[in-house]
Each structure stands twice: as C-alpha cells, then as structure tokens.
Structure 1
Amino acid sequence: MKSGNGVAVGHEGWLYWVGRAREVETFYGDTAASRRILGRWARLIARRARRLDKLGIRHVHTVVPDKLAVYPDRLGRPFPGLDDPPGVRLGRLVARDSAAVMVDLLAPLSAARAEEPVYLRTDTHWTYRGYLTAYRALCEALDAPVAEHVFAGSSQLERFTFDLGEKLTPPIDEEYVAYDFPRRAERTEANALVRVRETGQAVRLRGLFVGSRVVLTNPQAPDPRRVVLFGDSYIYSPGARLTAMLAETFAEVHAIWSANIDWAYVEAVRPDVLIFEIADRFLRQVPTDRIRIDAFAEARARRAVRPTLRARIQGWLR
C-alpha cells in the first residue's frame, strides 16, 4: 500500500486521513490560521452557551478526536500537533472564556485503546468500543444513567471496505467486529432527506446526509429528558452509533446532522438537553448557525431525486 489521495498509510496497515493538500497537517499545527479559527469557535460556543442558558436548556459540546491523536504511534512519521490536537486546544479556550461545558473524549478513548481498538484500522470512525466509550462519557457529563443493555449486545466478525480503504488502489477491506444491542427506542419521525435516501431512488446517494433529522422515542428510558443532538457521521442513527445509544438512555432524542444549530427548531422543541458533536477535522470551518434544517433538507431532497419522483416528495411535504 502507498499513501495517496489524502490517505496516509501507517504501520501494520493503519490508514489516516491527512488531506489532499496537507490541510489537516496545517490545521493541527499551532499556526496563526488554526489559532484564529479556534478563537472563532470559542466565541461561537460562548454565544451558544449564553443563549441556551437563557432558554433553560442544559448543554454540552464535544469534539471527536482524529485517529491521529489517539493512535499517533501507528502513523510512523512526524506530524505536527499530535500532543496538543485542535479539540484539546479549543477546550482550553472555552474553559478560559465561558461557562460552556466541553466533554473530553480524547482521554477516555486513549485509555480504552489499551483493552481493544477504538478506531477502525481503515476508516476515520470508531469501532463499537469507541462508540460505547463516547456514550458513557456523554452520559456521565449529563448525569444520566447508561443503559446497561447497550453494553450487553451481540457481536460478529464481518468484512467491509471502509472509506479510507476504498481510496487506495487496489481498495483495502477490513475484518471488524459488527455490534448490535437490544433496542427499546423507536424512530417516530424522519425528514424528507432521510426518506429520499431510504427509498434508494436518489440519483446520487453518496454524501446525501447533511440535513438529515430523525426523532427517536423510548417510553422505557431510564432518563425522562428530551435531547436535541447536532452532529455529524458519529451520531448517525443506523447501527451502533451515538444516536441509537443515547436513545436507550433518554426518553426522546432528536438527531440532526448539521454543524449549524437551528435555533428555531430548538426553541420549538424546548429540549431539556442540547448536545453538539463535531469531528476534529471539521473544526476548520466555523458554522454560522443560520439554518432551517427541514427547509434545507427538503431542498436537498428535491435536487437529489429523478424528476419523476419529485411529485411524490411534494406529497410527503404536504
């Protein structure tokens, strides 16, 4: 295997996303640009915290560390900033300038890797153990009980070509542990973008995720609170992801794939808790929080389908 297409090949086949134009490396280093961007994030989080406090909504932000920060030893070459990654630096800024709560995931993930892998070898995402580790950390930060049956799921070995592996020539697949757990929560709502994607009728499915919104309810949940969760692929509901796990703890979870907070939606739902999650590598772009998530999703859904299906979507939206 050779590095290329934005992927670095480390020891024993470990793959890392480093960017096609060294943008990840540039951001990880303590540069003027990264300091400016992280400063903007700290100010945004402070504004969010003040607004949520006024609404009486408990809130936490968390940054998912890149695999680079948790497995620097497998990379096999020098890389700037691995001892002080962007998410950690942002946490210090937030702690200094506001009362917002940042949940640290780097420390628990780094500790958990001693027992078994917490990241997939050929992807940017966690193994099931990584998801369980993050789920526990978020529950602890919110004084919420973990649902013990989430930790008592079933597992089996499967093979799959993940995102980083498919970028190589030839593609590299990986044997991984597929994990599932008993579900007491049910999905009770999904917006137009989710429905279009699930029909399989979109012209192009790849990348058709930003703007997705689902609601899961669980009458048996040990915590009666309502949660709104903004995040990216780490929260997405299928499989053993954070949305599914949190829905086993909380009575109602609204999961929205967006780095922007839809304030009109938050004020309409009036959750007890708001969780914001973002991957370290996506911190390079600071959101504006100017979005209406369902209008955004409907527009994407219309553009995604074949013309003959647009009338059906119009029917969904009525």
Structure 2
Amino acid sequence: MKASGSGVAVGHEGWLYWVGRAGEVEAFYGDTATSRRILRRWTRLIGHRARRLDALGIRHVHTVVPDKLAIYPDLLGRPFPGLDDPPGVRLARSVAADSGAPMANLQTPLVAARDGEPVYLRTDTHWTYRGYLIAYRAFCEALNAPVADHVFAGTSTRETFTFDLGEKLVPPVDEAYVAYDFPRHAERIDANALVEVRESGRAVRPRGLFVGSRVVLQNKTAPDPRRVILFGDSYIYSPGARLTAMLAETFHEVHAIWSANIDWRYVEAVRPDVVIFEIAERFLRQVPNDRIHIDRFAEARARRAVRPTLREQIRRWLR
C-alpha cells in the first residue's frame, strides 16, 4: 500500500497516521513560533469562554482529543517533532497558568491504556470503543457525574470497514474491528435542518454534511438530572456508540452540536447546567471566533445541499 501524497503516513504493522499534505501537522506539533501563537490565542479564547460561562452560572469543561501520534508515537516509525509534549498538553498547561479554566485530561488515561486492547483504530484517526469508554469516564469524573454501568456492558460484533485514512491509500485498506452497542434509555427529541436533510436522503451532495448538526437527546431515567450542551466534532457524533450517546445515558438532557464555535445565543436560550467543549488536537490549528448561529448556519447548509449545481441542472435539461 502507498500513501500517494495523501497526507497519510504508513507506520509499523499497518498503523496509519494523518501527517498532512504540506507539513502543516509537523509545523504545528513542534514548538514553533506558529504553534506558540496559535496556542496563545486558544488560551485567551478559553479564558474568555470560562469567564462568560461563570457569569451565567454554568459549569464548564474543555478537552482536547489527543492525536494518535501522541498516543502511539512508537508505531509511526520515524522521527516527528513535539510528540513528547504535544499541543493539547501544552495548551492545558497554558490555560492552567492563565485562567485556571477546567480542562479534562484525556492524554494520561489514553496513554495508560494503550498497551492493552487498542484505544485508536489502526486505519483511522478515531478511537476504538475502548477509547470512547475512557473518554466518557473522564468526562463523568470531571463533572462529578455517575457512570452508567450499562454503557460498559454492551453487545459486540466483528465488522470490517474502510475508514478515513485507509480509503486514502492506493489501494484502499480496510480494517476488521469490534463494534459495540449498549441499551439506550435516551431518546432523540429534536434535530435541526441539516440533520433532517442528511437523514432524509434528499441531499444532492450528501458527503460531509455534519458541521452544523444539532440534536437533542433526553433520558427520563438518567441518574444525573442536569442538562448539558456539548460542542464538538466527529468524536461526539450521535449515531452509534460515541460520546453523545454515552453522555445521554448519564445526563437527563444532552444537546450535541457539531461546531468548534460556541453559539452563545443558543447557550443563553437553553441555560444548561453544563457546557462541554471537545476538539481534536489536529483541529487546534484553526482558532474559532464563536460568532455563529448554529441553526441558521445549518439551514443555509441544508438549502445548499438539496439545490443542484448548475452542471447538474444542465445535465438534467439535456436528458
């Protein structure tokens, strides 16, 4: 198999890593002027968010999902800058010194668990089910919330799939993995326009219609009565056994929003007890501005998704 300029590095034993097409990941991971500037901006942003949420009386926690590079550096098979002190760890130190805003540490428990059953997929950037369980437990501990035991007692099936990094290779590489599920007590009670269009099959261009998604899950038997808003990326994705589904088994209500920006209008309207913010380490390279109205953004994306392009319209006219 070959990486073929795809930005994927092939490590030992078929482990794949996202390293970027133009050296941008290495430039960010190393202790460079660029990475220092970006992390300073994140430090200021998290401090500002913390002060605003404190003023609203809302408990909050930020977390950075470590890249697989930071958890399995030995399997990469070549030198790579910054892996002994990755950006997420440096950011947590900076935030602690600046504002003291709470941050959930995922690096330490993932490193501690790495030598057992894998915590990351071999051909993808995401966690295995075990990795998700570790993150779920870390969030519960950070928020003094009970862990739902049935999340850890799910059924399992062995499946094969071509994940994101594997499909970038020539030829594509699939992976056999163990998929887990658990009994669901939470039910989805709301979803915005982007979710509805994606699930309806009406999208002309269905690929990538995730950023801007918002769903609300409610659990009438949850052990923790609090309402949570969870901002994040693909690690929180609600279909399947990911963080949204897991947290909804602990908390009474979970609003899951796929966005690196916090929608302050939404936060102030819902008035949750807790706000959680999650971001993958590789996405720290772009600092958000928190100027978003999530449902307007979703509606605009949904309209574009069902509207044929000019080329598609011409093709239809010529039929």
TM-score, length-normalised on structure 2? 0.95
Contact 2:227/2:273 (<8 A) preserved: yes
Q: Return 5+ residue gaps in structure 1 as ranges.
A: 308-318
State the 1:306 CA deviation.
3.6
TM-score (norm. length: structure 1): 0.96
| Alpha-carbon offset, residue 200 of structure 1 | 1.4
Find the aligned partners of 1:99 and 1:73 in 2 and give their Cα distance: 32
Amino acid at match of 1:121: R
Counting only pairs closer than 5 Å after superposition, residues 186-205 of structure 1 correspond to structure 2 as: 186-205=187-206
What letter corresponds to residue 11 of structure 2 in structure 1? Answer: G
- Alignment RMSD: 0.7
Q: Match for residue 288 of structure 2?
A: 287
AA partner of residue 207 (structure 1): G
Q: What does 1:17-28 align with in structure 2 at a 5 Å threshold?
A: 17-28=18-29
1:276 maps to which residue? 277
Match of 1:313 in 2: none
User: 1:171 is matched with which residue?
Assistant: 172
The number of residue pairs the alignment matches comes to 307
Q: CA offsets per residue over residues 107-157 of structure 1, 9 Å max, x none?
A: 111111222100000000000000000000000000000000000001111
Give the distance between the partners of 2:241 and 2:261, measured in 1 at CA.
24
Shift of 1:99: 2.4
**Residue 120 (structure 1) aligns with:** 121
8 Å Cα contact 1:188-1:215 kept in structure 2: yes
Secondary structure of 1:281's aligned partner = helix
Distance 2:209 2:25 in 1: 23
1-structure distance, mates of 2:43, 2:76: 29
Match of 1:31 in 2: 32
Does the alignment pair 1:212 with 2:196?
no
Cα distance in 2 between the residues matched to 1:165 and 1:175 = 12
Deviations 1:51-103 (A, max 9, x none): 00000000000000000000001100000000000000000000000021011
Offset of 1:2 from its aligned partner?
A: 2.4
- Structure 2 residue ranges without an equivalent (≥5): 309-319
State the match for 2:66 in structure 1.
Answer: 65
SS in 1 for 2:21: coil
Task: Return the alpha-carbon distance in structure 1 between the equivalents of residues 132 and 206 of structure 2.
Answer: 25
Pair 1:161-2:173 in alignment: no
Query: What is the match of residue 130 of structure 1?
Result: 131
* Cα distance in 1 between the residues matched to 2:123 and 2:205: 24
Q: Which residue of 2 aligns with 1:8?
A: 9
Matched position secondary structure for 1:234: helix
Q: Aligned-pair distance for 1:207?
A: 1.3
> Match for 1:212: what amino acid?
S
Partner Cα separation in structure 1 for residue 205 and residue 72 of structure 2 = 34
Q: Distance in 1 between matches of 2:304 and 2:27?
A: 34
Contact 1:24 1:281 in 2 (8 A): yes
Distance 1:95 1:2 in 2: 42
Aligned-pair distance for 1:201? Answer: 1.7
